[in-house]
Amino acid sequence: MGVRIRATGTSTATDTHSIVEHSGRAAREALSRAGIRPDQVGVLINTGIFRDSNTVEPAVAALIQKAAGIGLDYTRTDPRTFSFDLMNGAVGVLNAVQVAGSILSTGSTGHVLIVAGDTHPSLTRSAADAAFPYATAGAALLLEQVDGPEGFGPVHTATAPGAPAEQAYVDTATMGTVGRSLMTIERDPDFEQRVLAVAVEVAEAALAGGDRAGVALIASTPSPQFPKLLADALGIDQDAVRTPDLSAGDPHTAALPLAYDRAVAAAALGGYRDVLFVAAGAGPSAAATRYRLPAETA
């Protein structure tokens, strides 16, 4: 038994800067591509961090669930969909894959929908800049359990000791009356090197005992060169690296699903047997898993 990606969805249009709307659009696209009704999704997990107007309550997952049109009927016999936020920065998507695997193994639902994405809390921009290095984008992974070897392997995680290397916070000493539209990001000078070290650690664990030939790499993009630096450290060919569109900057929590969606759409995974997914960011923390591609994708 395995857990595989049934379909993906993305949203990067600039007509809105709301991550609720972007994630809702991505969710609807994933369901449409899979031919799945909204009531067939038992659980929705939101892994986004930076949200509209720094929303704290309610859970943003509930807002995205509404935007996606999932579980909006409440009569006695209607199916129920449970949604929640799982926030662990860039690593959140692979943490959600772990949780989704446990949920699907119980047989309580046939599908789990993971959504990811970030936006500047001011809702006034979509491209990254020096002060806020994240692009606005939404992405979704629709997961299901299948017989056979395809799907995700174990998810390996690690956190490095010491300071977090990057911090994001609302500065309460200076925000005044506009705190809902502000976010302060601080990165240590050695951020990339520290994140790379922990990313290599978990990637090696995910690759242990397996052949590295025929493995494509999809990794977080805290810098444009990060996936290729990781490939070099792992001895994976540069040509095997697949990335999201980085023209607007780092899509942060949505980087992995956006890169996978882009690679599938471009038929860029042909000839590969597996994808190594590596998520890494502040903490420094990282997670990695080896994903056996379905025959129709490989």
Q: What is the pLDDT of residues 152-179, one digit of tens each?
A: 999 999 999 999 999 998 888 888 888 8
Residues 213 and 129 in one domain: no
Q: Domain range for residue 74?
A: 2-148
Give the total number of structural domains in the chain: 2
What pLDDT score does 296 carry? 78
Dist CA 232 CA 210 (whole Å): 18
Of the candidates 140, 141, 291, the one whose C-alpha atom is nearest the C-alpha of residue 216 is: 291
Last residue of a domain, one of 79, 113, 148: 148
Dist CA 8 CA 240 (whole Å): 21
Q: How many other C-beta atoms are found inside a 10 Å radius of the C-beta of residue 40? A: 18
Last residue of a domain, one of 113, 148, 183: 148
Residues 87 and 187 in one domain: no
Residue 93 in tokens = 């998507």
Residues 176 and 107 in one domain: no
Mean pLDDT of 217-244: 97
Residues 79 and 112 in one domain: yes
Residues 246 and 143 in one domain: no
3 in Cβ contact with 43 (< 8 Å): no
Q: What is the pLDDT of residues 194-225, one digit of tens each?
A: 999 999 999 999 999 888 889 999 999 999 99
Task: Kindly state whether residue 103 falls inside one of the protein's structural domains.
Answer: yes
Residue 19 in tokens = 């991550």
Q: What CATH number does residue 265 fall under?
A: 3.40.47.10
Task: Kindly state whether residue 13 falls inside one of the protein's structural domains.
Answer: yes
Dist CA 276 CA 292 (whole Å): 9
pTM for the model stands at 0.95
Mean pLDDT of 24-30: 98
Residues 144 and 160 in one domain: no
Beta strands (DSSP E) in the chain are: 2-11, 43-46, 82-85, 112-118, 137-146, 151-152, 156-159, 166-169, 184-187, 215-219, 274-281, 285-292
**% of the chain surpassing 90 pLDDT:** 86
Last residue of a domain, one of 148, 175, 200: 148
Query: 90-94, 100-104, 162-166: lowest mean pLDDT where?
Result: 162-166
Residue 231 to residues 199, 239, 240, 267, Cα–Cα distance (Å): 11, 9, 8, 21
Residues 11 and 94 in one domain: yes
Residues 168 and 271 in one domain: yes
Residues 170 and 267 in one domain: yes
* Sequence-distant contacts of 181-185: CB under 8 A, at least 24 apart: 181/53, 181/54, 181/121, 181/122, 181/123, 181/124, 182/54, 182/121, 182/122, 183/50, 183/54, 183/120, 183/121, 183/132, 185/131, 185/132, 185/133
| Number of residues assigned to the chain | 298
Partners of residue 114 on adjacent β-strands:
45, 141
Is it the case that residue 75 has pLDDT exceeding 70? no
Is it the case that residue 74 has pLDDT exceeding 70? no
Task: Kindly state whether residue 297 falls inside one of the protein's structural domains.
Answer: no
Q: What is the pLDDT of residues 107-144, one digit of tens each?
A: 999 999 999 999 999 999 999 999 999 999 999 999 99
Residues 286 and 170 in one domain: yes
Q: Regarding predicted confidence, which is higher, 193 or 175?
A: 193
Residues 11 and 84 in one domain: yes
